Structure 1
């Protein structure tokens, strides 16, 4: 073989290795970013009085850790919503388990949070396909209703005061709290 053939073969091998590694990395990223579960999973449902802005593909979390995804959100019994979700096979839900729709960010994205119910050993475990009753669910806070309640106050305040109040409300809702003038002399600087 000539030197030119050896160089061509070496380049082809390097290209092949690079291509295989690139395809594997891309597949791994697709699994991670696409929230595609590769393990065994169970599907449950939960009935909510409102499931506004919750969508197929949204996270299902326990203590902030993603354990599944929302599969469907549909009307149920004319005034409620039925949310069907998938969780990892090792997640055990009981008849006392609670489901709550929470804000993921300030844009309005939501996720489904699952919480343990009572710690009694006699509480029956839910089987795959079972439903969490509406008594054990809580819809997300409706910010429109919250701010509509502030309309009379906003009308009585100046625009500058409304902006300051709104900023403080957002900080409190984010869990940051608003600094007070008495404690924080740096606020006025």
Structure 2
């Protein structure tokens, strides 16, 4: 009788351990059916996204409100950035998305400057009012070889 009780106790302990591990995995991991209910995708078209990577922060006023989920090239040869934003954040249609550096030589992020329009972007809409990344290498080479526009 004592050995059956120990087996039930050990089995219960293992089940509780697996449930705790599963809960932790859902909280820390990127489980699509969990994160999609708390967020939405907003796209943005850029001429140049040099240095932006999947997983880069999306910020408003320095506060991280999402992550870059995908990068692709559209039929017009523009870079399309898919941003997964927190559902509590609304973006007016006159907002501007910019590629910025975090710090002097830091990682590239997407900075959204909110507009004042009452009409808001819906999930899967595309922001077309954007500021692309500044390509320092091309600016330096133009300056060094005297090809700067006056």
Structure 2: runs of 5+ lacking an equivalent: 146-150
Offset at residue 72 of structure 1 (A): 3.1
Q: Specify whether residues 22 and 148 from structure 1 end up closer, same or farther in structure 2 by C-alpha distance, changes over 3 A only.
A: same
- Check 1:97–1:19 CA distance in 2 against 1; reply closer, same or farther (3 A cut): same
Distance 1:40 1:14, change over 3 A: closer
Equivalence for 1:126: 121
The alpha carbon displacement at 1:151 in A equals 5.9
Match of 1:19 in 2: 18
State the alpha-carbon separation in 2 of the partners of residues 71 and 29 from structure 1: 17
Mapping for residues 3-82 of structure 1, pairs under 5 Å = 3-31=2-30, 37-76=35-74, 77-78=76-77, 80-82=78-80
TM-score, normalised to structure 1, is: 0.58
CA RMSD of aligned residues (A): 3.3
Preserved CA contact (<8 Å) 1:99 1:138: yes
CA apart distance, 1:50: 0.4
Q: Which has the higher helix share?
A: 1
Q: Kindly tell me: are residues 142 and 9 of structure 1, through their superposed partners in 2, closer, same or farther at Cα, counting changes over 3 Å?
A: same
Map residues 29-178 of structure 1 onto 2, 5 A cutoff: 29-31=28-30, 37-76=35-74, 77-78=76-77, 80-104=78-102, 109-117=107-115, 119=116, 123-133=118-128, 136-145=129-138, 148=141
Q: How many residues align?
A: 143
